[in-house]
Amino acid sequence: MALRIIFMGTPDFSVPTLKALAKAGHEIVAVYSQPPRPGGRRGLDLRKSPVHQAAEELGIPVFNPVNFKDPEDRQIFRALNADVAVVVAYGLLLPVEILEGARLGAYNGHASLLPRWRGAAPIQRAIMAGDAKTGMMVMKMEKGLDTGPVALTREVAIGATMTAGELHDILMEQGAEAMVEAMAKLEDGNLPLVAQSEDGVLYASKIDKSETRIDFTRPAIEVHNHIRGLSPFPGAWFEVELGGRPERIKVLSSELADGNGQPGEVLDDRLSIACGSGAVRLKRLQKAGGKPLDAQEFLRGTQLPPGLRIG
């Protein structure tokens, strides 16, 4: 028999898992997603999350509690009489009463190789740290932050120029496949659970705006990892004076390059920039309010001559 599943998720990353579980024949009795947020040019429109929209397309009822402090919200959850809750990037820390509110508990799809990169931004942090691999893990949730036992793992190699956006898209598809496999095993009663190691624990804290500016005094490999780890969002950036005023420019793609100079110095007409050691070549850039451009197209409209210092 198919499982009765409560699905809990919010962003695009969660949508493939919701759709895959429905396609696999499970009964999605309800979807929980973050409440609609102000959107539009003036912020007057309320925009439903990608998961909310996908659930409506599938004809699944949607609940949007701000949190689960209200006893009525907890009662509604329990009354759904679900076999299991599946959580993928929901965005709320769930109380134990919700984690235990389904017959078989709650299972989370998490985008790292736990216990490395527990927390909010595992994809970005893995790339920024220069990790060679990451993955999707299905784990049984418990009170601690991403501390529960692991049921299933899918490893993914991180290419030397892979951006967070590219890795995000790979992991969300791998996560959907992994969760369908895990739920099939859970349904059959043979889903193994292995406790996480106490060694190698790292926390992937949310990306703060204060850390998005590029620091060209760092070694080139760290600058490169910083750029690709924040691409396409929120985007690593530098500042340069154009037309007599400072302008912020995002860098969406880079590669390691030859050359040395003062940190932030433009070394050639291909946008090779000196770092604390070595250099990076900026390959794709975006002005505020503009569209992303490849370096040569960008340089046709913006002069960044050799010898100029940026930062």
Q: Residue type for 234, please?
A: P
Crossing angle for the helix pair 15-23 and 50-57, nearest 10 degrees? 20
Q: How far is CA 307 from CA 101, 246, 269, in A?
A: 63, 17, 10
Alpha carbons 278 and 256: distance in angstroms, whole number: 8
Give me the count of residues in the chain: 311
The candidate with the shortest Cα–Cα distance to 146, out of 189, 188, 201, is 201
Token output for 144: 């601690």
Strand boundaries in the chain, DSSP class E? 4-9, 27-32, 37-39, 45-47, 62-63, 84-88, 106-110, 133-140, 150-157, 236-242, 245-257, 272-274, 279-287, 293-294
Dihedral sign computed on CA atoms, order 33, 48, 21, 164: negative
Show Cβ contacts of residue 27 under 8 Å, excluding neighbours closer than 6 positions: 2, 3, 4, 5
Contact (Cβ atoms closer than 8 angstroms) between residue 280 and residue 255: yes
> Which residues are annotated binding-site positions?
112-115
Contact (Cβ atoms closer than 8 angstroms) between residue 56 and residue 212: no
> Which residues are annotated binding-site positions for (6S)-5,6,7,8-tetrahydrofolate?
112-115
